[in-house]
Amino acid sequence: MNKLKIATAQFEHKSGDKSYNLSVIEKLSQKAAAEGANIIAFHECSITGYTFARHLSKEQMLDLAEFIPAGESILKLTETAKAHNIVILAGLFEKDEHDRLFKAYVCVDKNGLVAKYRKLHPFINPHLTPGDQYCVFEIQGWKCGILICYDNNIIENVRATKLLGADIIFMPHVTMCTPSTRPGAGFVDPKLWENRENDPTSLRAEFDGLKGREWLLKWLPARAYDNAIYAIFSNPIGMDDDQLKNGCSMIIDPFGDIIAECRSFDDSFVCATLVPEKLTQAGGHRYIKARRPDLYRDIVGQSHQPEQKVIWLNKDEK
């Protein structure tokens, strides 16, 4: 494998405005390509918008969703990828011929669709169907995987994707700044965003504290370190429906070190060069080889009824 330059992006999407969101994706992709990036990754539902979907009926979701790869958004991504010679990863709602709905994330190059992944643990809308398989594919000699947002919180998903061969895992999110049972969690006041030019300090303090970045750093670097992978985390900045998101899109290497991170309040991206040597130098490479699956194969694989409770869908539900 040769070195690979990847960009991870963040921007303030507009709910349901695919034309606008794709225009921002095109603009940032063009700029990243000009800086020599081979790949650029955007956040979960970066094409369609995200949190507003909690209010939509199935009929409205079907109107918003697209067939993949025939949908207009995939065609537009392919056009952008071809024009700027860059691989693009972005998210949207998908529908199939049976009117099933999925949370999808796609990889597109100049020739069209390279890979599609369906979120295993969707919850923003009750009409979404969970995906049922992992996704590993190749970009320029590198084995890559995708896990969307909550999928990464279930540690078995990351390890399984690694064991299937992935050395890079794209981790698109719409996260942070939402309430939970975790101490310090909670929404960030949208007024701070509106006043960000006059008082960036107060906004940054909220974004970087336990409501945001400090929580992320409790677990995200561990996913990269334990599995000896490059983690490509993408997250929106600004208002997502009535909720504020704090960006912090970043690239983490197999040592668990942040090697690039967006620290702006603007639509932006950062780049990092991935080198294959770290994949085997990192401790996680040794730990995977030292596994004793005979000890825990039946424990990890025992019958279990999945349970998921999400408490942050509305600002008045705390």
**Interatomic CA distance for residues 19 and 31, integer angstroms:** 19
User: Quick one: pLDDT at residue 316?
Assistant: 47
Instruction: Output the six-digit token pair for 56.
Output: 């939509």
User: Quick one: pLDDT at residue 97?
Assistant: 97
Mean pLDDT of the chain: 95
Mean pLDDT on 233-254: 98
Q: Is 31's pLDDT higher than 50?
A: yes
How distant, in Å, are the alpha carbons of 18, 183, 225, 260, 263 from that of 251?
26, 26, 12, 5, 12
- For residue 314, name the pLDDT band (cuts at 50, 70, 90): low
Q: What percent of the chain has pLDDT over 70?
A: 97
Beta partners for residue 142, in sequence order: 139
Beta partners for residue 116, in sequence order: 106
Mean pLDDT on 226-254: 98
The domain segmentation of the chain, as residue ranges, is 4-300
**Interatomic CA distance for residues 51 and 54, integer angstroms:** 6
User: Quick one: pLDDT at residue 1?
Assistant: 86
Residue 8: strand, helix, or coil:
strand
HSE, CB side, 13 Å, CA atoms: give it for residue 125.
27
Q: Is 105's pLDDT higher than 50?
A: yes
User: Quick one: pLDDT at residue 309?
Assistant: 60
Give the E-state strand segments of the chain in sequence order: 4-10, 39-41, 87-95, 101-109, 112-118, 136-139, 142-146, 168-172, 230-234, 237-240, 243-246, 250-252, 258-261, 268-274
- For residue 306, name the pLDDT band (cuts at 50, 70, 90): confident
pLDDT in tens, 157-191: 999 999 999 999 999 999 999 999 999 999 999 99
User: Quick one: pLDDT at residue 72?
Assistant: 98
- CATH architecture for residues 4-300: 4-Layer Sandwich (3.60)
Indicate the pTM of the whole model.
Answer: 0.96
Mean pLDDT on 127-156: 97
User: Quick one: pLDDT at residue 244?
Assistant: 98
C-alpha triplet 203, 209, 210: angle, nearest 5°: 135
Q: Is 71's pLDDT higher than 60?
A: yes
Q: Is 297's pLDDT higher than 80?
A: yes
Is 233 within 8 Å of 212 (Cβ atoms)?
Answer: no
Mean pLDDT on 199-205: 98
- For residue 80, name the pLDDT band (cuts at 50, 70, 90): very high
Q: Is 311's pLDDT higher than 60?
A: no
- For residue 14, name the pLDDT band (cuts at 50, 70, 90): very high
Mean pLDDT on 85-93: 98
Question: Which residue type sits at 147?
Answer: L
Q: Is 317's pLDDT higher than 80?
A: no
Q: Is 121's pLDDT higher than 60?
A: yes
